Structure 1
Amino acid sequence: MSAKPLNVVIYWHMHQPEYRDLRTGHYHLPWTYLHTIKDYVDMAAHLEVNQAARAVVNFTPTLLEQIDDYAKQIESFFLHGTQIRDPLLDALAQPIMPSDREQRLSLIKQCLRANETRLINRYPNYQRLAEFASWLDEHPDAIVYLHDYFLTDILTWFHIAWLGETVRRNNPQVQALIDKGASFNQHDRRTLLQLIGDLCRDVIGRYRRLVEQGQVELSMTPYAHPIVPLLLDIHSARDALPEVELPAVEQYPGGKERVDWHIDRGLAVFEQHFGFRPTGCWPSEGSISEATIRTLSDKGFAWLASGDTVLHNSLQASDAPIDTQCLHTGYRYNDTSTCCFFRDDGLSDLIGFDYATWHADDAVANLIHHLENIAGACQQHPNPIVSIILDGENAWEFYPENGYYFLDALYAGLAENPAIHLTTYSAYLADQPEITSLDRVIAGSWVYGTFSTWIGDAGKNRAWELLVDAKRACDQQLAAREFTPEVREKIAVQLAICEGSDWFWWFGDYNPAESVRDFDHLYRIQLSNLYSLLDLEPPESLGEPISLGGGQPAAGGAMRRGQEED
């Protein structure tokens, strides 16, 4: 080990796309509030109790807006009896269960969307309900004999299972519901709903307090999580994949203007919720290019982060002399002012995929061993820094108790180790470390160092072509028609939602059919809504599915490793 502690940054990316139909405000998928009450609250709680720990946390602006919307909806329900605009959460709130056969079957099916091993089977009562629900899926006609108690119980257990572990352990009302186990009444469900509302209302403030206490640095992503390099230059996909088949479009129309809009809007939303402007940026999916870095530098960001393979591709193309024994440092592209940090794929993917089946202490000991090896290799480097970057929500359902033991051991083990300095990017840069120059950056993302997750196959390319058609229609209508400022703002936001990366992530035969169907359907709704705002009839092509899926990827497709497996 070197005499100087090794700088280590743990960087959690909190992200959900826009699940609302902005015309009605209704949610098509419940993942924002479910990950809020399970993961975002747990991630804050572990930092609150491990006060020596440090972390960087990224929030996408569309996630912040949706969390705030859920909190306001639940508050309005209790104050005014207003219907909640998420059908699953509204079912928990309602005193009477639906009587329609298809509605009942759909509700039961939604209550099975939880990790079977870690969330469902952990509770014998929930497991029995789920087993009967699976039988019912094969015998749907039996639904006529089902009592409402079954629906209220499976709804309640679903939401208990999706609560954060820190909530289950520390909240006596949740403990009372778990002890009761069955025959949940309306009061029980309202109690649970009130707790969900409180968690949604308080979670953003908890991260703000962690910033004030010096434990957390917050960063942001451009507003609706677009793949910025592809908006700026769709041909940048060929930097890392020269033979990739691109959509039948020349470029994304007005891409630079749209990128500026996403960044400016993202900054405004971030400041609205946290009271200050961030100095760092996680470009959507860690996707960067030379033009992206220049844009973020011009916007005043002090740092950004990307993927390991992007760094290796860029170093290979660069003429600058590089210390190949220690690549763990900050980099600066040519004359730009923004410092670039790069994810250690090996360490990040150990947390994302492998450590879930390990004993927590063994996992942390293994991670520290890897960090010791890196420190040894970087002894001659003046200021090495290791970046561990991954989703802040998707891994934990595969861990026992939502990662409770692992996260506690992780923060304690790293914070207490004298050879490791847990820090943040801004704190690291404040010491004015030596930064390595890059004269080339090969465009790519944290996934494989390419954009293959978002462009290049038939479904993804078709989605881009539909988006470009909609953007051209938008440009033509805005030039030819007079729209009020309010409508123009709605058009800009709706277009931004359509430009988000998640739609393209899920298209592809390798993804699960159910998830592909959900995101395919919602993407076409979002595009149709844009045409409606423009007073145009949506094209017939939006009535046809773009992609079907049918694969069985690891972690259900919600996570990927940074590098392709052999």
Structure 2
Amino acid sequence: MAKKMYLNIIWHMHQPYYYDLNQDLFTLPWVRTHATKDYLFMAKLADRFPQLHMTFNFTPSLINQINLYSQGKTDLVWNHFQKEAKELSKKEKDFILANFFLAPSKTQTSHFPFYETLKEKAKHNIHNFSTQDWLDLQVLYQLLWFDPITIKENFGLSELIKRGKEYTEKDKAIIKQVTQQIIAEIIPMYKKLKAKGQIEISTSPLYHPIIPLLIDNWVASESLPGTQLPKYRFQYLDDAQAQIHKAKDEVERIWNTEMHGIWPSEGSVSTAAVSCFAQNGFSWTATGEEVLFNTLGLPIVRDQNGLLNQGENLYQPWFFHTDDNNVAIFFRDRHLSDLIGFAYQHLAYHEAVGDMISNLERIIDRLPDSFNPIVSIILDGENAWEYYNNNGFEFLSGLYEALTQHSRIITTTPSEHLTGSNQKPTLNALKPGSWIYGSFNTWIGHEEKNWAWDQLFLVRKLLAEKEKELDGERKQEVYNILYQAEGSDWFWWLGPDNPSVQKEEFRKQFLSLLKKICDLIGEKYPGEG
């Protein structure tokens, strides 16, 4: 058996770019709601376990949106929350009905019984909604999005939650104050953890694009043969490079430190993409296990407990050599990551913690003495917790406590591990793919997704033709909008695989970006929609 294990936990923080420059507000509230429920919460929880080392990945576009909120920008949901209930128009009430019941899970709303009462009343008897009902709904929907640490630390907030209904307009001031405080604390709190040497901060490309598809979107068929490709072949290496180097410049300015690691959007890599990471000075990246085994030409074989039969391949960094730099690639254990992301929410927290520790111990026991594995658990740091009781507080606290006390498990960060690692297997090429089944089909291949790629291509081609006519300031503005339009999220929501009631809103926002580019360069929109 191996003597010990290094555990590399990477929490990825990202939200689509919801800020609309034309309206000067956020069209959707999810950056704010995850800020008050998850971003500060995850940092404060880590701070309680100073021996625990881990990595937090923040996309530059998310940090930018957090900063916009801290500067006083608001979103449509927040604006409808602030409006006095007695002054609400029919249009505003319709908006509230359409948006204030968009809570993701019963677990999140179970501690707010009157919220559930209002939800049922809205379905069957909306005409009997009183002014007090509207006010209670305004307040309760915001209270859903606070984390348990903040609630415990803030008496006024906890009292509002205990009351459960019959709120006043004055009660809104408490929510406003706490929200502003949380948003202002997020970046400083992570800086504090980094200064202590407890965490590493990594980044992603600027607006979270799928870098291999920007370089050549027909690479999707190399990843998964038979993929239906868009009509036009999108090949803009310069855009990929810009999304990477602008991200590095921006986050190094924000965090005031050199950035060593890049989590590629959705773990999407290719030989060309990793070469771009190397050219921009990154020393490590990460992706899904499927990419490694597809590259090696090996099947992924797990036993009845989900343990991998080829652990030596997965549980070490592989080194990708280029003329510019050597980039270490960490490969995610899908099974362990998905247990946290999707399975443990259904278990009592102590059972979930025990199961994870048992899984890690079995990995140690299975590997040879001479091998010191590094196991990478990588997942979203914000989206799972609303499905856990109490926002995952007991589970995460229990897990962190168990990890810090374990004699054979050492939590680490990629940069820490690379400092002392002498295991250096190499890869000369990578099979293109992502952390979602090792392919790109979440963002390309369906007719709706391909339609979006073709719209993007037509506008990008038009911009290339008109670029020389633009002055420096206008050119910078246009390209910033283009980079937003290249983000992965627009393609994610199209097609049948990720259904959402807000799908049409995403499509409209994507098209508005493309049409804005055309307006700025003085050309008619060349696409459809």
The bucket for the TM-score relative to the shorter chain is: over 0.9
Secondary structure, in 3 states, of the residue corresponding to 1:390? strand
Deviation at 1:116, TM superposition (A): 4.1
Take 1:381 and 1:65, find their aligned partners in 2: how far apart are those partners?
45
CA distance in 2, matches of 1:526, 1:447: 27
User: Map of 1:81-120 to 2, 5 A cutoff?
Assistant: 85-95=74-84, 98-120=87-109
Tell me if 1:511 matches 2:498: yes
Q: In structure 2, give the amino acid aligned to 1:184.
A: Y
Superposed displacement of residue 371, structure 1: 1.0
Q: Choose which of 224, 237, 244 in structure 2 pairs with 1:263.
A: 244
Distance in 2 between the 1:488 and 1:88 partners?
33
Corresponding letter in the other structure for 2:99: Q
**2: CA distance between counterparts of 1:171 and 1:272?**
32
Q: Distance in 1 between matches of 2:87 and 2:276?
A: 51
Shift of 1:12: 0.4
The reply on whether 1:285 has 2:272 as its aligned counterpart is no
- 2:230 maps to 1:239: no
Partner of 1:194: 177
* Counterpart code for 1:122: H
What is the Cα deviation at residue 187 of structure 1? Answer: 2.1
Residue 28 (structure 1) aligns with:
27
Calculate the TM-score normalised by the size of structure 2: 0.94
CA shift for structure 1 position 434: 1.2
Cα deviation for residue 168 of structure 1 reads: 1.5
CA deviation digits over 1:471-501, x for unaligned, max 9? 011111212x233x22221111100000000
Q: Which runs of 5+ in 1 are unaligned?
A: 74-83, 543-566
For 2:446 and 2:364, locate their aligned partners in 1 and report how far apart those are by CA, in whole Å.
41
Q: 1:521 aligns with which of 501, 505, 508?
A: 508
Mapping of 1:369-518 within 5 angstroms? 369-479=358-468, 481-483=469-471, 485-518=472-505
Aligned ranges 1:140-289 → 2 under 5 Å? 142=127, 146-252=129-235, 255-289=236-270
- Are residues 1:59 and 2:58 paired? yes
Q: CA deviation at 1:263?
A: 1.3
Specify the alignment match of 1:555 in structure 2. none
**In terms of mean alpha carbon deviation, does 182-191 or 453-462 score higher?**
182-191
- Aligned 8 A contact 1:93 1:190 in 2: no
CA offsets, 1:240-289, max 9 Å, x none? 2121111011333xx11111211122122212321123100001111011
Is the CA contact (8 Å cut-off) linking 2:205 and 2:247 kept in structure 1? yes
**Any idea what the Cα deviations from partners look like across 1:53-86, whole Å, max 9, x if unmatched?**
111110000100001111111xxxxxxxxxx541
Q: What is the CA–CA distance in structure 1 between the aligned matches of 2:168 and 2:252, rounded to whole Å? A: 41
Q: Deviations over 1:410-433 (max 9, x none)?
A: 111111111100111111011133
Which shows bigger deviation, 223-232 or 271-280? 271-280
Give the partner amino acid of 2:330. Answer: F
CA 1:518 to 1:98, structure 2 compared with 1: closer, same or farther past 3 Å?
farther
Distance (whole Å) between structure 1 residues aligned to residue 311 and residue 136 of structure 2? 57
| Cα separation, partners in 2 of 1:325 and 1:214, compared to 1, 3 Å | closer
Structure-1 separation of matches of 2:311 and 2:290? 16
Distance 1:381 1:534 in 2: 61
In structure 2, distance between residues paired with 1:303 and 1:240: 22
User: Structure 2 vs 1, CA of residues 96 and 134 (structure 1 numbering), >3 Å: closer, same or farther?
Assistant: closer
- Report the alpha carbon displacement of residue 25 of structure 1 after superposing the two structures with TM: 2.1
Task: Answer yes or no: is the 8 Å Cα contact 2:80–2:92 preserved in 1.
Answer: no
Residue range with higher mean Cα deviation, 118-127 or 337-346: 118-127
Q: Render the CA deviation track for 1:105-158: whole Å, top value 9, x for unaligned.
A: 21133111113411223212222222222324xx5xx2xx53332222111111
Rate the CA distance shift 1:43–1:325 in 2: closer, same or farther, 3 A: closer
Letter in 2 for 1:60: T
Once the two structures are overlaid, the 10-residue window that deviates more, 485-494 or 7-16, is 485-494
SS at match of 2:368: coil
Residues 7 and 411, structure 2, Cα contact 8 Å, conserved in 1: yes
Question: Aligned equivalents of 1:162 and 1:349: distance in 2?
Answer: 24
Kept after mapping to 1: 8 A contact 2:492/2:498: no
Cα distance 1:185–1:238, how it changes in 2: closer, same or farther (>3 A)?
A: same
Identity over aligned residues, as a percent?
31
Task: Supply the RMSD in Å over aligned alpha carbons.
Answer: 1.8
How far the C-alpha of 1:506 sits from its partner, in A, is: 1.0
Amino acid at match of 2:70: A
Residue aligning to 1:19: 18
Q: Distance in 1 between matches of 2:30 and 2:161?
A: 23
Please tell me the residue identity of whatever aligns with 1:522: Q
Larger deviation, residues 262-271 vs 55-64: 262-271
Identify the residue that residue 326 of structure 1 maps to in structure 2: 312
Q: Does the 8 A contact of 1:153 with 1:184 survive in 2?
A: yes
Given that residues 360 and 406 in structure 1 are in contact (C-alpha distance below 8 angstroms), is that contact kept between their aligned partners in structure 2? Answer: yes
Pairing of 1:535-550 with structure 2 (within 5 A): 535-539=522-526, 541-542=528-529
Distance 1:123 1:251, change over 3 A: closer
What's 1:68 paired with?
67
Q: Distance in 1 between matches of 2:209 and 2:370?
A: 35
8 Å contact from structure 1 (residues 120, 130) kept in 2: no
CA distance in 2: counterparts of 1:286 and 1:538, whole angstroms: 32
Residue 8 in structure 1 maps to residue 4 in structure 2: no
Q: Which runs of 5+ in 2 are unaligned?
A: 300-308
Change (3 A) 1:433 1:31: same
The residue that corresponds to 2:518 in the other structure is 531
- Equivalents in 1 of 2:370, 2:183: separation in Å? 44
- Residue 311 (structure 1) shift: 0.6
TM-score by length of 1: 0.88
Contact kept in structure 2, 1:305 and 1:343, CA below 8 Å = yes
- Cα pair distance change 1:381/1:528, threshold 3 Å: farther
**SS at 1:272 equivalent:** helix
